[in-house]
Homo-oligomer: A and B are copies of this chain.
């Protein structure tokens, strides 16, 4: 994505999460950081109009519209360790490796997979700190649209988790639309 371009991610059938990453196209050590974004916006849940920031606290994406209004920025990408240690399953597709696969042609190298922005993922924290992961609340066709504030590489992995409520009632596709403005995307 070029600076100023917009991206929409649409939950086609509803109830499907997607791990979303944005990396500075010119510097792979510089990327969207949920934890730095929390401090910037004063919330762990971003809202329309919020600017998300990088690990160097630079604006990277602005949220233009959002049909759901509830996403997750807490849960790290599932990886083979998650499936092996917690479910006893080897070889399961996972968002961590999906990111590395997507970036394998771009010399990501041995860098850590950054903390994702988990679109349509429904987590909730109780006042005592208890973390709940629940069925997504997104409905068929719901989407979120963001504008790039720098030149970006974006990776989205439709969450393949089928062993806990995070994925709702089944694994389905997400649609990704990129355009020069929000209007161009919405009028497609």
Q: Assess whether A115 is in contact with B75, with CB atoms less than 8 Å apart.
A: no
Contact residues of A: prevailing secondary structure: loop
Q: Assess whether A74 is in contact with B44, with CB atoms less than 8 Å apart.
A: yes
Chain B residues, CB < 8 A from A38: 74-75, 131
> Nearest residue in B to A124 (C-beta to C-beta)?
B127
Q: Give A82 to B128 CA distance when docked, in angstroms.
A: 28
Chain B residues, CB < 8 A from A124: 127
Chain B residues, CB < 8 A from A112: 29, 55, 111-112
**A45 sits at the interface (CB 8 A):** yes
Chain B residues, CB < 8 A from A128: 43, 45
Q: Assess whether B74 is in contact with A129, with CB atoms less than 8 Å apart.
A: no
Nearest-Cβ distance from residue A17 to partner chain B, whole angstroms = 14
B-contacting residues, A130-188, CB 8 Å = 130-131
**A39 sits at the interface (CB 8 A):** yes
Number of interface residues of A (CB under 8 A): 33
Q: Give A86 to B41 CA distance when docked, in angstroms.
A: 12
Q: Assess whether B81 is in contact with A57, with CB atoms less than 8 Å apart.
A: yes
Nearest-Cβ distance from residue A72 to partner chain B, whole angstroms = 10
**A65 sits at the interface (CB 8 A):** no
Nearest-Cβ distance from residue A26 to partner chain B, whole angstroms = 16
- 8 smallest A-B Cβ distances: which pairs? A45-B129, A57-B81, A35-B76, A43-B129, A44-B129, A125-B125, A43-B130, A56-B81
**Can you spell out 26 A-B residue pairs with CB atoms less than 8 angstroms apart?**
A35-B75, A35-B76, A35-B115, A38-B75, A38-B131, A39-B76, A39-B82, A39-B131, A42-B131, A43-B130, A43-B131, A44-B74, A44-B131, A45-B128, A45-B129, A55-B76, A55-B112, A56-B81, A57-B79, A57-B81, A57-B82, A57-B86, A112-B112, A115-B115, A124-B127, A125-B127
